[in-house]
Amino acid sequence: MSKQVYYKDLGLIDYQECWDHQESIFKKTVATKLANRKEDKDDPTFNHLIFCEHPHVYTLGKSGDQSHLLIDEKTLAERGAKYYKINRGGDITYHGPGQLVVYPILDLDHFFTDIHKYLRFLEEAVILTLAEFNLKGGRIQGLTGVWINFDNDLPAKKICAFGVKCSRWVTMHGLALNISPNLSYFNNIVPCGISDKAVTSMKEELLCDRDEPLRNEVVSMEDVKSVLLQKLTDLFKFEIIQE
């Protein structure tokens, strides 16, 4: 089993273009696995990891409620945003500049065939990344995502959203970590279908408490990418191949 992972940073890329790219890799991987089983072959499958940002866009998962998009087409256009119904799990979310989006397209037969463990590993990589920037993130039982104020009496705020698809143990879609996006775009939706909790970003949290030594610095997208890539590599035991 190969733990080699082809890593590519696509920068700022249109959502549909990136979705099509994901789908192409995903379908090819699934088709190879099906052919191997049907024809008693042993053709290799390959793992991919995509980092990117998207222009303003709202995406609704297959189990989501369309009413959680709170604006009409006219307002979408005025805000320079697009809207897609897509084939991941979860409800509605926002992607935009300043948010790091990560798409692992992995054949979990190379790692472990446990989707819950897979999601916990993704969450843990984000939690460990936040810790490198003096931010304490964690989980809330029964809710997806990584949260700030998950363990105290302050209002919990989501800093990273997750939504994945898995077929034949091949994954696609992934996570969206808010580094320094325009958080006002989240006001146009009920984020992930959760109406009673706020959304935050690393920049917001780093600027909100002046007592910490890093609070006056604005976090760098490139720094976060570097740390998160390393945390994912450590947890999954990736062998990264730069594309």
Selected catalytic residue, list 18, 160, 192, 208: 192
Classify residue 243: in a domain, yes or no: no
Classify residue 241: in a domain, yes or no: no
Per-residue pLDDT tens over the stretch 122-172: 999 999 999 999 999 999 998 889 999 999 999 999 999 999 999 999 999
Per-residue pLDDT tens over the stretch 53-98: 999 999 998 888 889 999 999 999 999 999 999 988 888 999 999 9
Per-residue pLDDT, 208: 72
Classify residue 242: in a domain, yes or no: no
DSSP 143-177: EEEEEESSSSSSPPEEEEEEEEEEETTEEEEEEEE
- 215, pLDDT greater than 50: no
Classify residue 23: in a domain, yes or no: yes
- Quick check: 178 and 202 in contact, CB under 8 A? yes
The CATH number of residue 114's host domain is 3.30.930.10
Per-residue pLDDT, 21: 97
Question: Could you tell me what percent of the chain has a pLDDT over 70?
Answer: 94
Is 208 an annotated catalytic residue? no
Structural domain boundaries enclosing 30: 4-236
Per-residue pLDDT tens over the stretch 87-97: 888 889 999 99
Classify residue 162: in a domain, yes or no: yes
Q: How many domains does the chain have?
A: 1
- 221, pLDDT greater than 60: yes
Q: Give the Cβ contact number of residue 41 at 10 Å.
A: 10
